[in-house]
């Protein structure tokens, strides 16, 4: 049921905004791999379903996967995301010396 309603939302959202000049691509969402447990098969199916729904409405712009880190193993793999999207980008949080514990 959740995917059914997600598809309805995605199709309507993309259809509404696809002609806006500020839209240069469609990101699957912010850090979807951090929003709960999924198997690799579930992650693949979700990614394929949403990416294909976007492309069905707007085949002119790239589909982007912006996740918090991608690995060769696990549920959200680089290989699967690369196969299903046009652009991979990760945005891990940088190490900050101001927040690190200092040892003397």
Could you read off the pLDDT of 41-56 as tens digits, one per residue?
Answer: 999 999 999 999 999 9
pLDDT score at 31:
80
Average pLDDT of the residues of the chain: 86
Residue 85, judged by CB atoms within 10 A of its CB (0-12, 13-18, 19+), counts as buried
The torsion angles phi and psi of 75, rounded to 5 degrees, stand at: -75, -40
Flag whether the pTM goes above 0.75. yes
pLDDT score at 104:
46
Query: In degrees, to the nearest 5, what angle opens at C-alpha 32 toward C-alphas 51 and 29?
Result: 55
Residues 30-49 have a mean pLDDT of 88
- 40-57 vs 2-17: helix crossing angle, rounded to 10: 30
Residue 98 has pLDDT above 80, yes or no: no
């Amino acid at each position: 049921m959740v995917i059914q309603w997600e598809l309805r939302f995605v199709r309507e959202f993309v259809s509404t905004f696809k002609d806006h000049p500020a839209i240069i691509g469609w990101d699957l969402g912010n850090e979807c791999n951090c929003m709960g447990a999924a198997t690799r098969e579930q992650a693949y199916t979700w990614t394929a379903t949403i990416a294909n729904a976007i492309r069905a409405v707007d085949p002119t712009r790239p589909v982007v996967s912006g996740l918090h880190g991608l690995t060769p193993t696990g549920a959200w793999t680089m290989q699967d995301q690369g196969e299903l999207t046009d652009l991979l980008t990760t945005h891990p949080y940088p190490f900050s010396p101001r927040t690190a514990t200092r040892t003397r």
